Structure 1
Amino acid sequence: MTAPFRSFSRSLTVERLLHPITGDDFFSEYWENRPLLINRNDARHFHGLPGVDEVDELITATTSGRVRSSDDQFLVRSEGDGHASRRDVPLNDHGIPDIQDVYRAYHDGYSIVVNRIHRRSAAVADLCRSLEAAFHHRVGVNLYFTPRSGQGFAPHTDDHDVFILQLHGMKEWHVGTPENDLPLPAMKESSPPLADFEKFILHAGDTLYLPRGFPHEAVTGASSSLHLTVGIHVYRWADLLSEALTLLAAEDVDLRAALPPGFLDGPLPASHAADLADRLAKVLADATFTERAKTSLGTSLLATPKAAAHSQFRSLDALAALTETAVVSRSPGMLCRVRFTAHDATLEFAGNYVSGPAFLVPAFTHIAEHERFAIRDLPGDLSGDDRLDLVGRLISEGLLQHESEKP
């Protein structure tokens, strides 16, 4: 069995993202439907997220040659003929991005793109965790820094929903009408027409929501612009059905059989394909099987890599002095899930897990349902030493933190 995901900063984070729009209004009127601009006249609304002063460090300080991808960061500029010039950030002899080259490119009108900033910034990682807890969809964040009178990309569409968080300066967005509603990645247009568009102007502290498929471009004016694009990479109904089909194939050998040799030269046996589809339809009518497919999607959500949320070393240093009266807490927004059978229990979180005998289910559930608690309040058939051992294990695995040792 699987208990629901638990988090305790869902409403706070979504409220901050959408303020003063309510979550109910957003999901009923805008989600997957139409753009939403939120002007706030509050430049400090996103205080705590990276600003202009952090861009240099984010480019240079957290790059690993072993895991670096070609699109981790790059430079892009929209040219007069409408196409975009893109080039990689060069590396110096030590494998570190050449920041002087980046400065020169920025001066020449290139926008700086740092993708997957949630793997580099703890503040952005916290934002992602909280939004994943609210949406139950994967969240990733890219950073865009554009000089004044500049444009990075030509008109394009995204195959995921985005929230644009304006952190510095001003940016003017031109948003057109989609050719395809809620497009799949393969339906994404590389250079969509943008003859007619709606104009949205963002200043620091503003938010723009764009559902996937809406063509758009953005330009700066008299000031530079720094924004984060928060991408909501949704699990579609098609993904759930695909997951269910994979689970069924593990149980039904006919689905694992090869297509007939030379199948491209003639028609496939339609009756056999229909029979396999009927088998899938029958298992989907079983709520237990559908829950298994949903659980499998949840496992992939928990495994999304992000930067560490906070320093854990103070709590690790304090483990020897831990007592039952101590209060511990977990990172706001961190998803937790309890899975259990008649014999064992597992607490899943952030690509990690702790498991043990089934009598741990009440304690695991309490931890998943409470952001902050005293160790002595853990329920279940546990001795004082059992509670201390369990909490110590969860501190060492990065889920819990000693309240008194928070920096």
Structure 2
Amino acid sequence: MKKISQALPLLGGITPEQFLSEYWHKKPLLIRQAIPGFTPLLDKDELFELAAQEEAESRLISFFGKHWEMQNGPFEQLPVKEKKDWTLLVQGVNLHREEADALLRQFRFIPDARLDDLMISYAADGGGVGPHFDSYDVFLLQAHGQRRWKISAQKDLSLVEGMPLKILRNFKAVQEFLLEPGDMLYLPPHYAHDGEAVGECMTYSIGFRAPSYQELGEAFLHFMSDTIELPGRYADPELKPAANPAEISSAMLSNIAEQLEKIRFSEEDMTIFLGEYLSEPKRNVVFSGPDKPLTPKRFTQAAIKNGVSLSLATQMLYKGKHVFINGESFAIGKEDKVAILKLANDRELDGNGVAEASEDVQEALCTWYEDGWVQLKAK
């Protein structure tokens, strides 16, 4: 019998199954007090400090004289708060703050392979990024102040030319909502929307990964280039004198096409490619191991005592016997599945789990600890 999950206040009191069947990819959902009494995880000064760091991905959006301007961080200085019509966007805050990661993980009724990141936008009064659409699903959680959202299911998604942002040329709002802290708005892909700060405000965007098939195809061909084996070399023992020397002959074309058609890929090839691709860290992610790592023996002792957890930026996925972590893959046996899959699903493994794991798993945990992919839990 299929297990039915519980209704979630985060989804307005409906179950994930109902949300996915009725709203996901289909229509918007306004959820009043999705997180009652919500307060910002970072105050604006902490957000500004994060935007000044090299490892954080940030953008500054400004609007003046019917013109949009975008600058990429890091930012040592931001516009004075009295100046209107500007917005600071800080991407991937979950990679830097545990409380942001914990908020993002509340949305794990969507698989990790699709869950992307938590972006925080700070806007002065009147600030926004203009009428636009996203190519992915998004939850917009109001964290501080108020933001007025105007949305539309319009089919006209033509853009204003010559702008650094994808601004809709003919946005026509159909619905309008004023969001207070704790309120949340879900929008499916390609749903036109425009958010404007009413006074100073902060909005959290929970986004989802939706790579284009073109991107996936190019990455897969690159992945397969290391495994393709086509023995032999082109030869034409039946070659005839060329009447037109510059023309590529049909015989040559057919010969090479016949050889290239021998290229095949299996379901396992696709599994390994997709797992490595989806677990690959983002470009700005840098892992740092402990300054003075414990010896393998002492690490295992500490892990059995306290347990371990995945680092904030670590992405761990699996399919069948294959496990993927930060762009790398390996196969596991039945004896290792319990510990490894629990670590992947729970993003942590308690001391008992470490103790019951095989030596191979304990060695892998130690290696990941040294690389900064895994950390010992606090006492």
1:74 alignment partner in structure 2? 60
Pick aligned residue for 1:225 from 201, 208, 219: 201
Alignment of 1:173 with 2:162, yes or no, is no
More helix by share: 1
2:18 alignment partner in structure 1? 25
Alignment of 1:367 with 2:345, yes or no, is no
Q: 1:39: Cα distance to partner?
A: 0.9
Pick aligned residue for 1:326 from 300, 305, 310: 305
* Partner secondary structure for residue 270 of structure 2: helix
Alignment of 1:157-196 (within 5 A): 157-179=133-155, 190-196=167-173
The C-alpha deviation readout for 1:337-388, integer Å capped at 9, x for no partner, is 46899xxxx85323467x6xx78763365223243242664355x4xxx776
Pick aligned residue for 2:370 from 396, 399, 402: 396
2:116 alignment partner in structure 1? 139
* Partner secondary structure for residue 111 of structure 2: helix
Counterpart contact for 2:12–2:34, Cα < 8 Å: no
Counterpart contact for 2:308–2:374, Cα < 8 Å: yes
* Partner secondary structure for residue 275 of structure 2: helix
Pick aligned residue for 2:356 from 378, 381, 389: 378
Distance 2:367 2:285 in 1: 21
Distance 2:121 2:90 in 1: 9
Larger Rg: 2
Counterpart contact for 1:243–1:297, Cα < 8 Å: no
Distance 1:252 1:389 in 2: 34
Q: 1:50: Cα distance to partner?
A: 2.3
Distance 1:248 1:325 in 2: 40
Alignment of 1:52 with 2:65, yes or no, is no
Alignment of 1:108-147 (within 5 A): 108-118=83-93, 119-125=95-101, 127=103, 134-137=111-114, 139-147=116-124
Distance 1:251 1:199 in 2: 54
- The residue type paired with residue 378 of structure 1 is E
- The residue type paired with residue 187 of structure 2 is L
Q: List gaps (5 residues or longer) in structure 2.
A: 158-164, 235-249
Distance 2:292 2:36 in 1: 34
Counterpart contact for 1:162–1:229, Cα < 8 Å: yes
Cα 1:55/1:369, change in 2 over 3 Å: closer
Give the TM-score taking structure 2 as reference length. 0.68
Give the TM-score taking structure 1 as reference length. 0.64
Cα 1:242/1:32, change in 2 over 3 Å: farther
Counterpart contact for 2:280–2:315, Cα < 8 Å: no
Distance 2:309 2:339 in 1: 12
- The residue type paired with residue 91 of structure 2 is R
Distance 1:364 1:224 in 2: 49
Counterpart contact for 2:60–2:89, Cα < 8 Å: yes
Distance 1:312 1:52 in 2: 30
1:201 alignment partner in structure 2? 178
Q: 1:53: Cα distance to partner?
A: 4.4
Pick aligned residue for 2:188 from 204, 211, 216: 211
Alignment of 1:36 with 2:29, yes or no, is yes
Counterpart contact for 2:145–2:201, Cα < 8 Å: yes
Cα 1:224/1:293, change in 2 over 3 Å: same
Q: 1:144: Cα distance to partner?
A: 1.6
Q: 1:315: Cα distance to partner?
A: 8.3
Cα 1:390/1:212, change in 2 over 3 Å: closer
Alignment of 1:336 with 2:311, yes or no, is no
Count of residues in correspondence between the two structures: 336
The C-alpha deviation readout for 1:32-71, integer Å capped at 9, x for no partner, is 11111111175534x57323342232233xx23xx787xx
Q: 1:215: Cα distance to partner?
A: 1.6
